[in-house]
A and B are shown apart, each in its own frame.
Chain A
Amino acid sequence: MAIYTDKDGRDRVVPDSGYQSNAVVRKSIHLALKERELKAREDLKNGGNEGPDKELTLDDSERVKVLSPGQLVFKRFITNKLAIVGSFILIFMFTFSFIVPLVYPYSQTQIFYKYDNSVIDYAQAKERTDYSIYMVDAGENIHYSVKNKLTATINDMKSKGLEELSLEDPDGISYRIDREDDYIYSLYKVSSELYASMNGTAKYATYSVVGKKLEYEEESEPVDGFENALQAAIKDKAKEFTAGGMTFTLEQVKKTYNVYLTSDAFTYYGGEYDAALEALARNVEKSEVIESGNDKYLVTNNKGAITVNKLMGEEKVALLSTYVFDSYDSSFKISDEFMLLAINAVTEDNKFEKDGKSYTVKAEGEERLIYEEGNSDEPVAAFSTMVIRRYNGEDSLEFAYKEKTRSIIEEMTANNQRTATFTWPIAQVDADGLYTYDENGDVIKDDRTVTITDKNGSFVMSVEQVVYLIDTFSRPTKEHWAGTDGDGMDVFARMMYGGRVSLMVAFVVVILETILGIIMGGIAGYFGGWVDNLIMRMVDIFYCIPSMPILIILGAMFDALKLRPIVRITWLMVILGILGWSGVARLVRGQILSLREQEFMVAAEAIGLKNRKRIFKHLIPNVMPQLIVTATSGLGGTIIMESTLSFLGLGVKHPLASWGTMINSVSTAEAMKAYTYIWVPVGLLICLTVIAFNFVGDGLRDAFDPKMKR
């Protein structure tokens, strides 16, 4: 019970919870009666304006207007200015989040595009430096190590001004590169024949101790006294022995001995003894072509074993060229053979035949055009060292365009220009990012100015083109009232849907924790004793669990498990509810403990009401006012919690909008400065909503609990 002073300065006894208080009701009746009495006196004093003939009756029109407790609370609530402001903000927020999206044309995940006249890199022209291999005979095999170093070797030749250079592959086959002109080189494969060799040591025989079996190698020439000398050496465990003026070495393999003949004599395969050649060959350190007499020999020294190959002759196996082919008409297919013939023609008489047709190659500047015989107006193909491709590497440019750019680049090089421009019809894209076609099915093209820029030998062609791109970070416009975000989504729409998520999460969480709290607190408060003790210790424990860190840990775990956004929200709400019920339970228990002792509960017990009815009909409704106040303030707190988690990237996830996520998307320093029109309104929405909930919560508390204020 508490003492309460009413307007007239009289003390009134008011029970602790003011809501069901008869005193309040009584007070209003009292005031109303008093006002009526005063009015009647006034009337009497004034001589009775309404006339003395007015009858005093006991009907409805004469009944004293008494406000019900609910009406009283309402009346007190609406006289609180802040509460009214809060209510209006909340009504606005709910309309904004739940009703406006129904009529707003955009959805939260709709991505917007825009047309922009931007300069794009259309194509690129580059001098080709890699040499392609055009095989003369497709069956011929060139070792990969030679293939791989061809370009490097040719560049080496160029820098040294060499006309030809020899190469050798690991198998000992040698090649020769011969310069035809600046862009064409011939590759010759040199055939050779084993002429002579010097092994250093050669296997001579095998001797088996078991059975004393001696086996000579095929080429070995028997020497007198060899067997005796061998046996003596084995007996003496000697490594070396001589027999017949020759030195042998022994190698023991278990019970067998391998006998090697040490010799520095050359073995000739079909050739004649050549003292001059042998002398030269012995001086070769690794590999060298030497001349002896009229012949050339390739000598290889592999750790003392010398091989002499006689070079027999050479054969052209491939043409190496940096030329790139373009056909005038895409229907004209250029085969490898065609390319080979055309390149070969350049080194010869500029004419070649293929499939029964004759072609002529004509040089035009750096470029060479191929004409079919009988048609000297239109070339069928062209080749040059300049590669012209779309910027993405696609070879989809038409012949005429390539011709044009080639001529311009030649001009630029000649005049030492860095940039040049020309006009060319270029296909344009429409609203869907696709090419437009006329009635004949041809792509519609507009004349555009192409700018060629020389970037260190690579010529980049840029063109101003209408491109269709995602409209990111657009400032507020007529279409997008709050602009668009980094994903090209409408910020205004996302604000509304974000509000929906925030409010929904807040309500679900608060309802969940209130239900849990009522159940636990109700049980504790009503039954008391050990049940109360147990539940209150649980409350203590949950009160002590740091909820923010736990939510962050779970958020990081959800991230790692890659949960779907909607599943995340559900979990988030459940966890927030479970972590938050302790406050409500404590409040409900406290209320019930004090209410339990009051007269109306005693009366309820006295008339023999059932437990369930006493709790739900009499106790809970009396706890409601306190609960509503706590829940209203709790809504604000939950919104802060949710938006903080989302801001940290651990709550509601993209593409679902949430106010916190929206602020997070522009959290870098640069974005923060540049996109204030995104994050400031969103932040204000959060603040306003939370403030409104707090205002309303405060207003409700004051209205329910008149002894504090008003």
Chain B
Amino acid sequence: MAKFIVKRLGLCLLIFFFVTFIIYVLEYCLPTSYVEKTALELSMRPGNTKSAQQWIDELNAQYGMDQGIIKGYAIWLSNSARGNYGDSWAQTMPVTALFNKCIWYSFVMGAIAFVIQTAIAIPLGVAAARKQYSIMDYSVTVIALVGISMPTFFVATVLKLIFSVKLGWFELVGMQGRNYATLDAAGRFWDLAHHLVLPIMTLIIIGIGGLMRYTRTNMLEVLNSDYVRTARAKGLPEKKVISHHAFRNTLIPLVTILGGSLPGLFSGALITETLFGIRGIGYYAYNSMVVGDIPFTMFYLAFIAILTLLGNLISDILYAVVDPRVRIN
């Protein structure tokens, strides 16, 4: 097992180098005029203490943009390995400080949405598979497909229209109420929670379909297997067949995929956070990408790449751990 993990880790590291290299090349190849123009624009923003030339000089020192590609990549890599990511151009603060500031909003949102959608999707998927071609099955299939098929921005806009504009229950955008400054700690917590409801709803609607479908497909496969038929043939009550024999085996792929998606909770929701003005990592990342804030963008892309790799690694390991039949080689 240890050998397997080490091997996988090595592979991940290799892929990570290549992915970051590609990302680096992409940033490196941005037209100089674009970089200079962006630096100039951002340096003229209020609150900025550095001149455009200072930003570019820092960028060159940090990312070796004025060196060759390979050498520059080495410079960036050694800098980032030491936790040195430079200052965000758009937010004029160290990238790591910005990361610490915003990541927990993203994580909380992602985690709540993850728990709720798992709690809804798995029972529904199982129920759909138990009675294939029933109304339940059809409705689950249709709901799942509709969920998968809706673009995030449309869901967000519809939710805003219904709950913010028509019903007026939630605020349209932002994460603090008007009277936030006057609230005490508990009041602030509830205010924040209130503002997070719509974004979390959006995340759930977007994500629930895929999980539901996956559960249903796997449950169907298990229900068609020999050991379930054997269990039924033995005369076990249907309840026991489902909960003991079928569902436990359905859990194997589910745990694998859910475990794999855990690191993704940190990646933030680019579109949702931007549309709802939640100051999470996705919001800042989108903002920095649009205005051309290279330091934070580079950091974000590398961060996402690590999360994806980590997700795959966890999936692989969980698959081996959960299913004893899988031999590691």
A636–B305 touching, CB < 8 Å: no
Closest chain B residue, CB of each to CB of A550: B26
Complex Cα distance, B274 from A296, in Å, reads 80
B23 at the binding interface (Cβ < 8 Å): yes
Asked, given contacts A544-B308, A550-B26, A673-B165, whether A694 binds B149 with beta carbons under 8 Å apart, the answer is yes
Identify which of residues 548-573 in chain A touch chain B, using a CB-to-CB cut-off of 8 Å.
548-550, 552-553, 556-557, 560-561
Q: Would you list which residues of chain B between 99 and 146 have a CB under 8 Å from chain A? A: 132, 138, 141-142, 145-146
A605 close to B (CB within 8 Å): no
> How far apart are A13's CB and chain B's nearest CB, in angstroms?
14
Where the two chains meet, the residues of A that have a C-beta atom closer than 8 Å to any C-beta of B are 3, 82, 537, 540-541, 543-546, 548-550, 552-553, 556-557, 560-561, 636, 640, 643-644, 647-648, 650, 660, 663, 667, 669, 672-673, 676, 679-680, 683, 686-687, 690-691, 693-695, 698, 708-709
- Partner of A644 from the list B153, B161, B173 (CB cut-off 8 Å) is B153
- Which of these binds chain A: B12-20, B48-56, B184-192, B244-252? B12-20
Bound Cα distance from A552 to B274, whole angstroms? 13
Give residues of chain B (155-203) contacting chain A, Cβ–Cβ below 8 Å.
157-158, 160-161, 164-165, 172-173
Q: Is the CB of B285 within 8 A of A560?
A: no
B174 to chain A, nearest CB (A): 12
Contacts of B286 in A (CB 8 A): 552
Q: Is the CB of B308 within 8 A of A549?
A: no
Residue of A nearest to B161 (CB): A672
Among B15, B34, B291, B297, point to the contact of A540 (Cβ < 8 A). B15
Instruction: Say whether A691 contacts B145, CB under 8 Å.
Output: yes
Q: Does B86 interact with chain A (Cβ within 8 Å)?
A: no
List of A residues within 8 angstroms of B165 by Cβ = 669, 672-673
Residues on the A chain within 8 Å of B16, using CB: 544
Q: Mark B289-329, 1 if CB is under 8 A from A, else 0.
A: 11110000100110011001100000000000000000000
Taking the complex as formed, is B61 at the interface, i.e. its CB lies under 8 A from any CB of chain A?
no
* CB-defined A-B contacts under 8 Å, sample of 6: A552-B270, A552-B289, A644-B151, A648-B153, A663-B153, A669-B165
Q: Are A708 and B220 in contact (CB under 8 A)?
A: yes
Q: Does B256 contact A (CB under 8 A)?
A: no
B62 at the interface (CB under 8 A from A): no
Determine if B45 is an interface residue (Cβ-Cβ < 8 Å).
no
User: Is B236 among interface residues, defined by CB-CB distance under 8 A?
Assistant: no
Query: Given that A541-B18, A541-B19, A544-B309 are contacting pairs, would A553 and B26 also be in contact in the complex, using a CB cutoff of 8 Å?
Result: yes
Q: B157 is contacted by which of A544, A549, A663, A690 (Cβ under 8 Å)?
A: A663
Apart from A556-B292, A660-B153, 15 more pairs, CB < 8 Å: A541-B15, A541-B18, A545-B23, A545-B305, A549-B270, A549-B285, A556-B289, A556-B291, A560-B38, A561-B31, A636-B148, A648-B274, A669-B165, A698-B145, A708-B220
Kindly state the separation between the CA atoms of A553 and B14 in the bound complex, as whole angstroms: 25
In the complex, chain A residues whose CB is within 8 Å of the CB of B271: 644, 648
A413 CB to nearest B CB, Å: 48
Closest Cβ of chain B to A643, distance in Å, is 5
Rounded to whole Å, the gap between the CB of A440 and the closest CB of chain B is 57
Contact between A560 and B151, CB atoms less than 8 A apart: no
Contact of B297 among A553, A680, A709 (CB under 8 A): A553
On whether the beta carbons of A537 and B305 are closer than 8 Å, the reply is no
Q: Would you call B141 and A690 a contact (CB within 8 A)?
A: no
Chain A hits for B142, CB < 8 A = 82
Closest to B34 in A: A560
Asked if A557 and B285 sit within 8 Å, CB to CB, the answer is no
Residues of B within 8 A of A667 (CB): 157
Q: Which of A545, A640, A698 contacts B19 (CB 8 A)?
A: A545
Q: Is the CB of B151 within 8 A of A686?
A: yes
Main secondary structure of the interface of A (DSSP, over half): helix
Q: Is the CB of B150 within 8 A of A687?
A: yes
Chain B residues with Cβ below 8 Å from A680 are 158
Cβ-defined contact, A556 with B290, below 8 A: yes
Verify B301–A546 contact, CB threshold 8 A. Answer: yes
Q: Are B145 and A537 interface neighbours, CB within 8 A?
A: no
Q: What is the CB-to-nearest-CB distance from A609 to chain B, in angstroms, rounded to a whole number?
A: 33
List the A side residues contacting B270 at CB < 8 Å: 548-549, 552
Is B152's beta carbon under 8 Å from chain A?
yes
| Residues of A contacting B18 in the complex (Cβ-Cβ under 8 angstroms) | 537, 541
Task: Report how far A708 CA is from B213 CA in the complex, Å.
Answer: 14
Using Cβ atoms and an 8 Å threshold, which residues of chain B touch A691? Answer: 145-146, 149
With contacts A545-B19, A545-B305 taken as known, whether A557 is within 8 angstroms of B150 at the C-beta atoms is: no
Instruction: Give the shortest distance, in Å, between B287 (CB) and chain A (any CB).
Output: 10
Q: How many residues of B contact A (CB 8 A)?
A: 55
A82 touches B141 (CB 8 A): yes
Interface centre among B220, B289, B291, B308 (most CB of A within 10 A): B289
Tell me if B30 counts as interface (CB < 8 A to partner A): yes
Q: How far apart sit A691 and B149, CA to CA, in the bound complex (Å)?
A: 5
Measured between beta carbons, the chain A residues less than 8 angstroms from B291 are 556
The winner among B153, B161, B172, B285 for most chain A CB atoms within 10 A is: B153
- Given known contacts A544-B19, A644-B153, is B301 in contact with A550 (CB within 8 Å)? yes
How far is A541 from B149 in the complex, measured between Cα atoms in Å? 27
Question: Which residues of A sit under 8 angstroms from B164, Cβ to Cβ?
Answer: 669
Given known A-B contacts A541-B15, A690-B150, A695 and B145 have beta carbons under 8 A apart: yes
Query: Complex Cα distance A540/B146, Å?
Result: 29
- Interface pair A541/B151, CB less than 8 Å apart: no
When distances are taken between beta carbons in the complex, the residues of chain B under 8 Å from A541 are 15, 18-19, 22
A550-B300 Cα distance, complex, nearest whole Å:
11
Say yes or no: A546 contacts B161, CB within 8 Å: no
What distance in Å separates the Cβ of A391 from its nearest Cβ neighbour in chain B? 37
A667 to B150, CA, bound (A): 17
A439 to B279, CA, bound (A): 68
Do the beta carbons of B309 and A557 come within 8 Å of each other?
no
Q: State the Cβ distance, A668 to closest chain B Cβ, in Å.
A: 10
Least Cβ–Cβ distance between B219 and chain A, in angstroms: 12
Q: Which 3 pairs show the lowest CB-CB distances between chains A and B?
A: A690-B149, A691-B149, A683-B154
Q: Are B145 and A549 in contact (CB under 8 A)?
A: no
With a CB–CB cut-off of 8 A, which chain B residues contact A648? Answer: 153, 271, 274
How far apart are the CA atoms of A663 and B161 in the complex, in Å?
13
* Complex CA–CA separation, A707 to B38 (angstroms): 57
Q: Which residue of A lies closest to B173 (CB)?
A: A669
In the complex, chain B residues whose CB is within 8 Å of the CB of A640 = 149, 151
Chain A residues contacting B292 (CB-CB under 8 Å) are 556-557, 560
User: B160 contacts which of A561, A672, A693 (Cβ < 8 Å)?
Assistant: A672
**Chain B residues whose CB sits within 8 angstroms of the CB of A669 once the complex forms:** 160, 164-165, 172-173
Does any Cβ of A come within 8 Å of B240's Cβ? Answer: no
Which B residues touch A643, using CB under 8 A? Answer: 151, 153
Given contacts A549-B297, A672-B161, whether A537 and B149 have CB atoms under 8 Å apart is: no
| B15 touches which of A544, A561, A644 (Cβ 8 Å) | A544
Q: Is B34 a contact partner of A546 (Cβ separation < 8 A)?
A: no
**How near does chain A come to B61, taking the closest CB pair, in angstroms?**
22
Contacts of A660 in B (CB 8 A): 151, 153
Give the Cβ gap from A496 to chain B, nearest Cβ, in Å. 19
B16, B270, B285 — which one has the most chain A CB atoms within 10 A of its CB? B270
- Nearest CB of A to B2, in Å: 22
- Identify the closest chain B residue to A667 (Cβ): B157
CB distance from A560 to the nearest CB of B (A): 5
A672 pairs with B157, CB closer than 8 A: yes
Please measure, in the bound complex, the distance between the C-alpha atom of A561 and the C-alpha atom of B35, giving whole angstroms. 11
Instruction: State the CA gap A694–B220 with chains docked (Å).
Output: 19
Distance to closest chain A CB from B310 (angstroms): 11
Residues of chain A within 8 A of B34, CB atoms compared: 557, 560-561
The answer for the CA separation of A556 and B285 in the assembled complex, in Å, is 13
Given contact pairs A537-B14, A541-B15, A667-B157, A546 touches B304 in the complex (Cβ within 8 A): yes
Which residue of chain B is the closest to A673 with respect to CB atoms?
A: B165
Q: Are A647 and B153 in contact (CB under 8 A)?
A: yes
Residue B37 interfacial (CB < 8 Å): yes
Given A82-B142, A683-B158, are A549 and B300 neighbors across the interface (CB < 8 Å)? yes
| CB-based nearest A residue for B304 | A546
Residues on B with C-beta less than 8 A from A693 are 149
B145 touches A694 (CB 8 A): yes
Among A544, A550, A679, chain B packs the most CB atoms within 10 A around the CB of A544
